[in-house]
Amino acid sequence: MTFFYFIASMFISGITEFINSLFEKRHKFLWHALNKIGGTIEGKRVVDIFSTTVLMKHFSDGTTFLWRRPVSYIQPSLFVQVLLNELTNKADARVEDIEYFREAILKQQGEIKDLLLSLVKKSNTQEEFQANIEAWYNAYMEQISYWYKRYNQRVVWAVSIGCTLLFNLDTIKITSAIYNNPALRATMVQQATNVAQQSRYQDFVVAENVDFMQQVGQTNPSLLSPQTAKDSLKLKELFIRYQYQKASDLGIPIGWGGVHNASELKATVGSIQTVLGWIITISALSYGAPFWFEVLVKLVNIRNVSKRPEVAKAESKKAN
């Protein structure tokens, strides 16, 4: 079941990432974070400074929804450069005297003024001031990352519930089928072993999945290097289809194929066993694909270790 949960979680992850890309959630979380920084520099809010500066424009392609690649992360060094350029009204923000920064900051308004004052007080040189701003920015981005992960976990739960019901992913039914079908069990054990031989979970994500990218290269070579958000969404859509096909190819009893009429559907949905199987599946999928990959690798390694003494005994008997 661990292997099934891993494959199903990959499918859930693909849908979740597709949703987040479609609605530009990473981009929105970043700009929400900038918008939360109150006050102004030279009469401009921080979020407005970054939305209008020339230094940021080359990070986004075009302005039309789905045909652009919105900015979802700003490098700390770029954040400092843009901020100090606006603060000093200089193209390169190179000022040797730290007092110049103190005087410039005192002319600003609100929260950003208090923040920069606290950082400049701890600095003796421009380099120290820049390093202090970067350290604060990195800490702030960690907090934003935590917000995003909390939001993303809610999406994972919602998608897990939807997919479990839509595809009838009943853990109890699937476990019974695997237990009673030696051929299916052997196939899943072999595929789980192959997966566990990979050292990194990242080998299974969209761009790093060799098998998937080879298929894309044969059918949609232009998507190997997506240039717009529309291309990225198309690539994620193909990845969802790829993961669904992998799950279907296992021969696991998923879907509503055994339900032929309304009475059978009512009996299935009304079954306590079915509902319990759904609840177990939803709970398992909420842990995410990285978790199940780690569990799978550990279980396969334990299985391999336990088989070594048996192999050694068999070789010893042959030798005698």
User: Using one digit for the tens of pLDDT, what is the confidence trace for 192-240?
Assistant: 887 777 666 665 666 566 777 777 777 777 776 766 667 777 777 777 7
For residues 17 and 159, membership in a common domain is answered with yes
State the residue range of the domain holding 118.
25-145
List CB contacts of 290: < 8 A, sequence separation 6 or more. 201
- DSSP assignments along 261-287, one per residue: SHHHHHHHHT-HHHHHHHHHHHHHHTT
Same domain? For 208 and 266 the reply is yes
* pLDDT of the residue at 151: 93
> How many angstroms separate the CA atoms of 179 and 168, rounded?
19
Answer for the pair 61, 69: CB distance below 8 angstroms, yes or no: yes
Give the model's pLDDT for residue 312: 44
How many domains in the chain? 2
Element (H, E) at 303: helix 289-319
Q: What pLDDT was estimated at residue 85?
A: 84
Residues 155 and 272 in one domain: yes
Nearest C-alpha neighbor of 164 from the set 253, 281, 18: 281
Mean pLDDT (the chain, rounded): 79
Could you give the CA distance from residue 116 to residue 129 in angstroms, rounded to a whole number? 9
Model pLDDT, residue 95 = 53
Residue 308 CA to residue 313 CA, distance in Å, equals 9
- Rounded to whole angstroms, how far apart are CA atoms 296 and 219? 31
The SS3 call for residue 57 is helix
The pTM for the full model equals: 0.73
Question: What is the pLDDT averaged over residues 36-56?
Answer: 79
User: 115 and 229 in one domain?
Assistant: no
List the one residue out of 188, 195, 191, 171 whose CA is nearest residue 254: 171
**End-of-domain residue from the set 86, 115, 145:** 145
- pLDDT at position 159, please? 93
- Asked if residue 174 has pLDDT above 70, the reply is yes
User: SS3 for 44?
Assistant: strand
What's the confidence (pLDDT) of residue 197?
74
**CA torsion sign, 297 to 14 to 226 to 218?**
positive
Indicate whether 311 pLDDT > 80. no
| pLDDT at 155 exceeding the cut of 90 | yes
Residue 165, CB half-sphere, CA atoms under 13 Å: how many? 8
Q: What is the pLDDT of residue 64?
A: 43
Residues 13 and 32 occupy one common structural domain: no
Same domain, 192 and 255: yes
Our CA angle for 241, 245, 246, nearest 5°, is 120
- Are 258 and 304 within one domain? yes
The DSSP output letter for 24 is T
Residue 286: pLDDT band by 50, 70, 90 thresholds? very high
Six-digit token pair at 36? 């939360």
**Which H or E run includes 254?**
none
The structure tokens 């070594």 sit at 308
Q: Are residues 186 and 308 in the same domain?
A: yes
Least confident of 56-65, 85-94, 136-145: 56-65
Residues 135 and 174 in one domain: no
Side-chain half-sphere exposure of 296, counting CA atoms within 13 A:
28
Same domain, 160 and 48: no
Q: Both 163 and 305 in a single domain?
A: yes
Cβ proximity of 61 and 135 under 8 Å: no
Same domain, 130 and 163: no
Give residue 62's pLDDT: 46
State in Å, rounded, how far the first CA of the chain is from the last one. Answer: 39
Q: Name the pLDDT band for 284 (thresholds 50, 70, 90).
A: very high
Look at residues 85, 115, 145 and tell me which one is the last residue of a structural domain: 145
Looking at 145, 168, 192, the residue that finishes a domain is 145
Residue 203 has what pLDDT?
58
Instruction: Please tell me the distance from the alpha carbon of residue 271 to that of residue 249, in angstroms, as a whole number.
Output: 27
